[in-house]
Amino acid sequence: MTEEISRRTLFEMTMAGASAAALAGTAAAQTPRPDEGPAGWVRYPESEKVGYAIVGLGKLALEEIIPGFKNARGSKLAAVVSGDPAKARRVAAENGLPATAVYSYENYDRIANDPRIQVVYIVLPNSMHAEYTIRALKAGKHVLCEKPMATNVADAEAMIAAARQANRKLMIAYRCHYEPLNLEVMRRVRAGAIGKPRLVVTNMGRQADPTQSFDRWRLDMAMSGGGALADMGVYGVNAARYLLNEEPTEVQAWSSTDRSDPRFKSTEDLIVWQFRFPSGAICNGSTSFSCSPTMAYEVIGETGRLVGDPAAFYGGNRLRVEGQPGEREPKIVQIDQFAREMDWMSDVVRGRAPMVSTGEEGLQDMRLMKAIMDSAAQGGATIKSDWGYRRAVDPAAVVDVPRAV
């Protein structure tokens, strides 16, 4: 059996098994289509692609998400929503959209009457995620919302409640759940390749640049919900949980912020934290907006070590395997992570894939980031809680990635 076929079999098995509850009553049990691509992927004709409205035409939307539609197999750009009419018209024209596919924040709710839009992708500053998610859900649309889900736990809970009430899907854009390096590490850890995991180390940071508009709101507590922690640290908080596939029960954190640095008027800069997990594993996490760029982690087990450095960039992620026989630097397939994530969402909407990065998954990170900030504010107080969340679907078990895109 080739690796490709075995991966595909895994995909089909898990679609039928692990995710059965998530798929109940949907069309998910359909047999794969004959034009199915590698690793269980389907390339849909244009007329069957799921239509997306992109809300917020900033750096991520313009540089990654909209270009990503070119590589998407089942998703297409259907509309843009912006506060800048000239930019919105230009982006629409560049992407072959008619003027009727341009919305403003004021007439946004009219998307309810636009059948071209099935999914609304929220790419706004964090403080605007809740409002625009809830309005889209009320308009009867599914929502893919950028990380972090919101700026506080209450807003995240309101978003989940709105999705439930509208009977629409709410997915959080955790691209690492669908990315080859991260899936490879998850699978190796689950398979016991490094023995029992003892320590996870996550370091996520960079230099924030207040001359850039996209960093100005990130440095504002009200708009970002937590500076570097909300922007970069959330990757480490989330990674510790999906690498170990368990939830922390104790949190302790410290911060170090130079208040004479004009960047840090309302947010903390460097925060380090520890999570204690029920298995006995511990995570050391850090984040900062005053350090050289890093999006790295490692998992140290009883018999081996897996190092992802970088582990969460848009491309070029590298895996190093220590203390084990075999390849030291397994090749990581490069994919368009945004196309991949949107295609997963589209398959969720079609009932062909289980929801992996759920609203509840995003809410758990909001709770843990609050615990980190609360502990740091109290000089490292220990915060113990079960937080009550159990992941329904393990991404390592269901998400497959293509061998090449």
Question: Considering beta carbons, is residue 146 or 347 the nearer one to ligand NAD?
Answer: 146
> Given the rule CB under 6 A, which residues bind ligand NAD?
56-61, 83, 123-126, 146-147, 173, 175, 213-214, 217, 231
CB of 194 to ligand NAD, least distance (A): 27
Query: Which pairing describes strands 119-122 and 142-145: parallel, antiparallel, or unpaired?
Result: parallel
CB of 177 to ligand NAD, least distance (A): 11
- The DSSP call for residue 14 is H
Q: How far apart are CA 111 and CA 90, in angstroms?
A: 20
Residue 389, judged by CB atoms within 10 A of its CB (0-12, 13-18, 19+), counts as middle
- Output the residue with the shortest Cβ distance to ligand NAD: 58
Q: How far apart are CA 337 and CA 144, in angstroms?
A: 14
Question: Considering beta carbons, is residue 14 or 82 the nearer one to ligand NAD?
Answer: 82
Question: Considering beta carbons, is residue 8 or 218 the nearer one to ligand NAD?
Answer: 218
Residue pair 253/380 in contact (Cβ under 8 Å)? The answer is yes
Question: Considering beta carbons, is residue 51 or 125 the nearer one to ligand NAD?
Answer: 125
CB of 64 to ligand NAD, least distance (A): 7
Question: Considering beta carbons, is residue 127 or 274 the nearer one to ligand NAD?
Answer: 127
Q: How far apart are CA 50 and CA 346, in angstroms?
A: 6
96 conformational bin, left if phi > 0, alpha if psi -120 to 50, beta if neither: left
Going from the C-alpha of 201 to that of each of 36, 78, 90, 377, the distances in angstroms are 38, 40, 43, 22
Token pair 């995240």 in the structure block, residue: 156
CB of 106 to ligand NAD, least distance (A): 12
Helix (H, G, I), strand (E, B) or coil at 307: strand
Q: Give the residue numbers marked as catalytic.
A: 147, 235
CB of 126 to ligand NAD, least distance (A): 5
Residue pair 16/10 in contact (Cβ under 8 Å)? The answer is no
